[in-house]
Homo-oligomer: A and B are copies of this chain.
Amino acid sequence: MIEITLAGNPLDRAHHKRLDAGWLAAARKSALARIAVFSEGKPLIRDGAVAFLTSPALQMLGCAEEPGVFLGLENEDAYFAIELGRSAAEAAQELGGFADFRGTLASLPMTESAILGEARGLLNWHAHHQFCAKCGNPSLIADGGWKRICPACKAEHFPRTDPVVIMLAARGERALLGRQAMFPPGMFSTLAGFMEPGESIEEAVAREVLEEAAIEVGAVRYVASQPWPFPSSLMIGCIAEARSETITVDRTELEDARWFTRDEIVRALGRPMGEGPLSLPPPFAIAHQLIKAWLAEDGAAR
C-alpha cells in the first residue's frame, strides 16, 4: 500500500471564494480563521503539530494587515498562510518553534503536512515572483494568493508547478539506484529530473535514465505522484523496464549509480538509516514508495 506524504490534503480549495475579496477579508479576520505562519519558509510548530494562529493572535504579533494566501475550507473553518516579517517572527517564538519543513515530514500528522505543503508551495511562488516576467514591473497578489496581476501590462500569472519524473528502473531482480555527492554516506535513491517542453512523461523517464546512467528504458508505468514544495515540484513516480545493463555515470549529475539486488534492497529497508552498506530514502519520499511498489510487484509476480 502506497502512502504519499504531502498528498491527502483535507481542505476544500473552494475556488469560488478566491474571487470574493469581501468574504476573504472577513474570513481572514475572523477569530475562527486557522492561519499557518512561516518564517523564511519554516512553519511554526508546537507540540509536534502545526501551530495554526487566529487573527487576534496575528494582530498581537504585529502583522494584522498582511492578507496572506487562502488555502481552503474544512467545514466552516477557513485556512490561510502567511510568511512573517522578522519582528513578527521573533514575537511568534513565544507560541512555538519554527522548524525545517522537510525535517517535520516524518513526524507531523499527514493531513497537516499536506496543508503546509500547499501553503509552502504558494508562498514560495510569491517570494520568487514579485515582478512580471513579461514586462519587469512589480506585480500584485490577487484572488486570495492564487494569481498575480501586472498593473502595467495587464499580464496574469498563476502559481508555477514543475513536473519532475522520478523513476525506479529495474531489470529482473535488480534495480538501478544512484547517489548525489550531497547524500549522506551509503545513501542511494531513484533517479529523477525535471521535465522539459515537448516531451511526454514516458519520454522524460527514458531521457533521464539514459542521460544519468546510459541505461536504455522500455515500458514505463506510472505509479503515484507527490506534490513537493522544495520549491515547486510535482514528483511523477514511475517504474521503468531497463533494457540494458552497462552503466555509465554522468558525473555532472551523480556521484555513483549501481544495480542493487532485490535482497540488498529488502535488507536496507529493514535496517535503521545509516547502518549497513546501503541506505534508502525515508518513507515520506516518493522514492521510498516506488521502491516498495517494485518489491511488492516483483514478489507477486513470482
Interface residues in chain A, defined as those with a beta carbon under 8 Å from any beta carbon in chain B: 4, 6-9, 13, 15-16, 114-115, 117-119, 121-122, 125, 128-138, 146, 155, 157-163, 194-203, 207, 211, 222, 224-227, 229, 232, 234, 236, 252
Contacts and interface: CB of A to CB of B under 8 A. Distances in A.
Contacts of A146: 196
B198 A121 contact: yes
Contacts of A201: 225, 234, 236
14 contacts: A115-B198, A118-B198, A119-B198, A128-B133, A129-B133, A133-B157, A136-B137, A161-B197, A163-B234, A200-B225, A200-B227, A201-B234, A202-B224, A202-B225
A20 B114 CA distance: 41
A79 to B, nearest CB: 11
B161 A203 contact: no
Given A7-B199, A131-B133, A202-B225, 19 more contacts: A8-B203, A9-B203, A15-B211, A16-B252, A118-B196, A118-B199, A121-B198, A122-B197, A125-B197, A128-B134, A129-B133, A130-B136, A131-B136, A133-B157, A146-B196, A163-B163, A197-B232, A200-B227, A201-B234
Nearest to A238: B222
Contacts of A203: 7-9
A130 to B, nearest CB: 7
Nearest to A131: B136
A166 to B, nearest CB: 13
A136 B134 contact: no
B122 A161 contact: no
